[in-house]
Amino acid sequence: MFFSGTFEHSLDSKNRLTIPAKFRQALLGGVAITKGKDKCLVGYPLERWRQIGEELVNREDTEENRREKRKFFASTVESIPDRQGRVLLPPHLREYANITGEVVILGTGDCFEIWDKETLEREIPDE
């Protein structure tokens, strides 16, 4: 499955994000959410996240690769969406992406991005 489409949601009072219904089947085995490269969060099906992790672990032990592994693994949270398709976004991830309420979820192929709505509008303005 490829993740595609754009969806607007809001965090609930417990800082849970509702995953779009279209994505939920692919996340039945769990989801890994981590820091993205562009001040957003990235969600992977747990199986895909583990594949990427294996690739990182098996790379040559260089300073650059160690930095990339730290960034990838240290900030990641694994979760299984609840019955309503919600996952908790912990404080360290919300702070990194400046997420306070209004969220935009973008399908990007093998993963999806989670953006603060205002940040996305500044970073990627409509053309």
For residue 1, is pLDDT > 90? no
Give the rounded percent of residues in the chain with a pLDDT score beyond 70.
Answer: 98
Residue 127: the pLDDT is: 46
DSSP-derived 3-state class of residue 12: coil
- Which CATH superfamily does the domain covering 6-123 fall into? Transcriptional regulator MraZ domain (3.40.1550.20)
DSSP letters spanning 35-71: E-TTSSEEEEEHHHHHHHHHHHHTS---HHHHHHHHH
Report the pLDDT value the prediction gives residue 55, as an integer from 0 to 100: 94
Residue 80, helix vs strand vs coil: coil
Point out which residues pair with 113 in neighbouring strands.
42, 106
Q: Over the stretch 89-117, which tens digit does the pLDDT of each residue have?
A: 999 999 999 999 899 999 999 999 999 99
For residue 23, pLDDT beyond 60: yes
Residue 29 has pLDDT above 70, yes or no: yes
Q: What is the pLDDT of residue 126?
A: 66
